[in-house]
Amino acid sequence: MNLTKRILEGDIRAASKLMRDIDDRIPTALDSLKELYPQTGKAYIIGITGPPGSGKSTIVDKMVDIFREEGKSVGIVAVDPTSPFSGGAILGDRIRMQRHATDEGVFIRSLATRGCLGGLSRSTQDIVNVMDAMGKDVILVETVGVGQDEIEIIHTAYTSIVVLIPGLGDDIQAIKAGIIEIGDIFVINKCDREGADKVERDLRMVLEMGKKREDGWDAPIFKTEAILGKGIFELVDGIYRHKQALEKSQTLEKKRRERMKTTFLEILESEVMALFIEKMEKGGRWETILDDLMNRRTDPYTAAERIIFEELKTH
């Protein structure tokens, strides 16, 4: 039986094989992704981001308990852009979900920044699509909230959760610029620690100062103590309420459309780039172009236009 068929039947080993092939950029992976695509679009995608060590994985782990109790199957993608050590195999330390490792209804995959052509966001999307086609009801994407990449990844989610912890101090100002806008739901985790109320007050202030959201959604704040599972039920309920609000206001359709556009542009971009790079490498043209640029015989703008023009002419 072929790989695609096995994946559609929920075969975990087949799915893992495809995900490895995607990582290694094996050309047949693209064929499988094409075949799987019609079966995607059913899963509900949730993004969770926040500072390193804020408890994202612990929260995910506890949410999975609830989803499983409700009979939902779950996919987890842990994006790990900072660690040079991971690469699809780490399921141990950084991801605290071993408890679910033997559960057939939970599929966990971690992802690093390597193989960067097309970007982390594209790779995440591919993996999410495989899990979606496998029939996962809920897909959780965990990413450390530090840079632009993470924000892009979060855009693929329908509900985005931003995790903060006490003791961030003035950092909330720094975070504000980047990730506050993307939060549909906020979590203050590690509420057993001192300062949870202060973070909450600060966050509320920042949220109130910000402009009112177009979709009319008022982002709630949940206080959790994830290691003990405290507040997680309320959080999951908050996700369901957000989902309902999205459906009611037809924003979910809009989000799906936007997500589609991002994916398509990313694929287009990476395919076009791959094409041009291959072209330049083949003809040994890299050196010529670089020489010309170094000697100021040409400028990078003209050089780029020339390559594009030549390519278009030959088609």
Question: Residue numbers of the site for ligand GTP (CB under 6 A)?
Answer: 52-58, 94, 96, 144, 189-190, 192-193, 225-227
Residue nearer to Mg ion on the CB measure, 23 or 80: 80
Q: 3-state SS string over 231-298?
A: CHHHHHHHHHHHHHHHHHCCHHHHHHHHHHHHHHHHHHHHHHHHHHHHHHHHCCHHHHHHHHHHCCCC
Q: Which of these segments, 49-57, 65-73, 182-190, 242-250, binds Mg ion (CB under 5 A)?
A: 49-57
Can you tell me the distance from the alpha carbon of 266 to that of 53, in angstroms, rounded to the nearest whole number?
Answer: 30
The minimum distance between CB 56 and ligand GTP, in angstroms, equals 4
Rule CB under 5 A: say whether 4 interacts with Mg ion: no
First to last CA, the chain: 37
The minimum distance between CB 56 and Mg ion, in angstroms, equals 5
Residue nearer to Mg ion on the CB measure, 3 or 108: 108
Residue nearer to Mg ion on the CB measure, 93 or 194: 93
Query: Of these partners, ligand GTP, Mg ion, none, which one is at the site of residue 73 (CB under 5 to 8 Å by kind)?
Result: none
The minimum distance between CB 174 and Mg ion, in angstroms, equals 20
Query: Of these partners, ligand GTP, Mg ion, none, which one is at the site of residue 144 (CB under 5 to 8 Å by kind)?
Result: ligand GTP
Tokens found for residue 35: 């075949």
Q: What count of residues does the chain have?
A: 315
Query: Of these partners, Mg ion, ligand GTP, none, which one is at the site of residue 189 (CB under 5 to 8 Å by kind)?
Result: ligand GTP
Element (H, E) at 6: helix 3-8
- Residue type, position 111, single letter: L
Query: Of these partners, ligand GTP, Mg ion, none, which one is at the site of residue 54 (CB under 5 to 8 Å by kind)?
Result: ligand GTP
The minimum distance between CB 163 and ligand GTP, in angstroms, equals 7
Residue nearer to Mg ion on the CB measure, 55 or 118: 55
Can you tell me the distance from the alpha carbon of 190 to that of 194, in angstroms, rounded to the nearest whole number?
Answer: 9
Q: Which of 57, 124, 224, 251 binds Mg ion (CB under 5 A)?
A: 57
Tokens found for residue 31: 């064929």
Can you tell me the distance from the alpha carbon of 65 to that of 99, in angstroms, rounded to the nearest whole number?
Answer: 10
Please count the other Cβ atoms lying within 10 Å of the Cβ belonging to residue 199: 25
Residue nearer to Mg ion on the CB measure, 32 or 143: 143
Among candidates 7, 19, 140, which has minimal Cα distance to 74? 140
Residue nearer to Mg ion on the CB measure, 131 or 252: 131
The minimum distance between CB 27 and ligand GTP, in angstroms, equals 32
Q: Which of these segments, 33-41, 53-61, 216-224, 257-265, binds Mg ion (CB under 5 A)?
A: 53-61
Q: Which residues pair with 36 in a beta bridge?
A: none
The minimum distance between CB 115 and ligand GTP, in angstroms, equals 20
Please count the other Cβ atoms lying within 10 Å of the Cβ belonging to residue 218: 9
Residue nearer to Mg ion on the CB measure, 133 or 163: 163
The minimum distance between CB 95 and Mg ion, in angstroms, equals 6
The minimum distance between CB 281 and ligand GTP, in angstroms, equals 37
Evaluate whether 75 touches 136 at the Cβ level (below 8 Å).
yes
Can you tell me the distance from the alpha carbon of 102 to that of 75, in angstroms, rounded to the nearest whole number?
Answer: 13
CB neighbour class for 187 (10 Å; exposed up to 12, middle 13-18, buried from 19): buried
Binding site for Mg ion (CB under 5 A): 56-57
